[in-house]
């Protein structure tokens, strides 16, 4: 009898002594802000529930615009946000404490797609160009290019906020705009429907933190282990994107709702091999480009240095642990 009681007490002790994530995993929410190929590692995270594998309950939500996602983060509704460096900087100018954890894309990858009769970039003078949202990364990319071409944004070229890349495509097809700033696979859809490639902004080779995950400094300070777990799940999503083509394309097809997988093939090869690295460390140079651009109209950004706006320690710690080498079998 005594032995039975002791066994029951021992089993009860084991149950109570389990780690917290064994009984109820820490819960986080993350927002992704567009439907595009660079988001595919996140879609894979969601489909395979990779955060749970790494000790988290994570809800991954689609919030179409970075500024809205950051507002949700400021309200405590989400903890991780995919955003360009420009969105983080704008939030921090208003008193926030966002930092980039990754630079998953660190150059412009947009294509400017136009009506066929527009033959060269300077012919955009007097025309309307569609972007997703004013103050967003497509807006920043277009303004950077217009400056290079000697065209004054908002004076020589009207910049029209449309609301999203699919909406931009419809605006272009319906002739509400003369050109649009698009990423893949929507750019290929536009080209196949009769539009022309006016300029590929990736050819500029500009370091620019265009897409990555960010969070608040205060969240990292108070929840570092949660941030590490979430980033391990993200790095595994990148690994599967880069090494499992069938899975990557299948998941991308589901989220883009494009039936023609051939639309995505060229873009997949380009992004998986060229643009998205295995460990997308945040980039001081990519942030500096943004600061230099914003300083032309908002000199108050000069109070920031790139190191104020990134936290490289999370990915560094994960990489130094050997996690990435184990993933890739190196």
Nearest to 109 by CA among 281, 274, 288: 274
pLDDT digits (tens, 9 = 90+) for 185-234: 889 999 999 999 999 999 999 999 989 999 999 999 999 999 999 999 99
Tokens of 248: 């990557």
CA dist 94 → 69, 74, 91, 152, 297 (Å) = 15, 11, 5, 27, 16
What separation in angstroms does the CA of 270 have from each of 277, 282, 320? 12, 20, 28
Q: Mean pLDDT, to the nearest integer, of 11-15?
A: 35
Mean pLDDT of 68-87: 88
What's the CA gap between 309 and 99, in Å, rounded?
5
- Give residue 23's pLDDT band: very low, low, confident or very high (50, 70, 90): low
Q: Do residues 311 and 100 lie in contact, with contact meaning Cβ atoms separated by under 8 Å?
A: yes
Measured distance between the N- and C-terminal CA atoms of the chain, rounded to whole angstroms: 55
Q: Map out the domains of the chain as residue ranges.
A: 25-107+207-328, 111-204
CATH architecture of 111-204: 3-Layer(aba) Sandwich (3.40)
Q: How many CB atoms are closer than 10 A to CB 171?
A: 18
Of 4 and 181, the structure prediction assigns the larger pLDDT to 181
Separation between Cα atoms, residue 232 and residue 35, nearest integer Å: 22
Residue 53 pLDDT exceeds 90 = yes
Q: Is the peptide bond before 185 cis (omega within 30 degrees of 0)?
A: yes
| pLDDT score, position 12 | 36
* Of the candidate ranges 27-31, 69-73, 275-279, the one whose mean pLDDT is the lowest: 69-73
Structure confidence at residue 235 (pLDDT)? 98
Asked if residues 101 and 314 have their Cβ atoms less than 8 Å apart, the reply is: yes
Give the pLDDT confidence score for residue 301 in this predicted structure.
Answer: 92
Q: What's the pLDDT tens digit per position in 272-319?
A: 999 999 999 999 999 999 999 889 888 999 999 999 999 999 999 999
For 25-107+207-328, CATH gives: 3.40.190.10
Structure-derived torsion over alpha carbons of residues 7, 12, 15, 19, reported in degrees to the nearest 10: -110
Are 25-107+207-328 and 111-204 equal in CATH topology?
yes
Greater pLDDT, 18 or 171: 171
| Residue 7 reports pLDDT greater than 70 | no
Checking if the pLDDT of 42 tops 50, the result is yes
């Amino acid at each position: 009898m005594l032995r039975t009681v002791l066994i029951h007490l021992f089993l009860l002790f084991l149950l109570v002594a389990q780690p917290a994530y064994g009984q109820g995993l820490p819960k986080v929410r993350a927002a992704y802000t567009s439907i595009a190929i660079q988001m595919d590692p996140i879609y894979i995270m969601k489909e395979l529930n990779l955060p749970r594998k790494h000790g988290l309950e994570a809800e991954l939500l689609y919030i179409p615009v970075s500024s809205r996602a950051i507002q949700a983060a400021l309200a405590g509704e989400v903890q991780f946000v995919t955003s360009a460096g420009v969105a983080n900087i704008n939030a921090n100018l208003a008193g926030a404490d966002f930092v980039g954890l990754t630079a998953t894309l660190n150059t412009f990858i947009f294509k400017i797609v136009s009506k066929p009769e527009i033959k060269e970039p300077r012919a955009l003078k007097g025309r309307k160009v569609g972007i997703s949202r004013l103050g967003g990364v497509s807006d920043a990319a277009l303004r950077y290019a217009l400056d290079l071409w000697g065209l004054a944004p908002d004076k020589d070229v009207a910049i029209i906020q449309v609301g999203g890349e699919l909406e931009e495509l419809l605006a272009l097809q319906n002739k509400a705009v003369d050109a649009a700033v698009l990423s893949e696979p929507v750019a290929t859809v536009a080209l196949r429907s009769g539009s022309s490639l006016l300029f590929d902004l990736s050819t500029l080779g500009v370091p620019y933190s265009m897409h990555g995950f960010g969070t608040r400094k205060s969240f990292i300070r108070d929840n570092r282990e949660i941030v590490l777990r979430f980033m391990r799940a993200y790095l595994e999503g990148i690994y599967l994107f880069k090494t499992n083509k069938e899975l990557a394309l299948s998941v991308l097809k589901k989220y883009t709702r494009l039936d023609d997988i051939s639309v995505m093939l060229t873009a997949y090869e380009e992004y998986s091999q060229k643009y998205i690295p295995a460990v997308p460390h945040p980039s001081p140079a990519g942030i500096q480009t943004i600061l230099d651009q914003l300083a032309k109209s908002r000199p108050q950004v000069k109070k920031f240095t790139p190191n104020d706006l990134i936290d490289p320690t999370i990915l560094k710690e994960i990489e130094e642990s050997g996690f990435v080498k184990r993933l890739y079998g190196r």
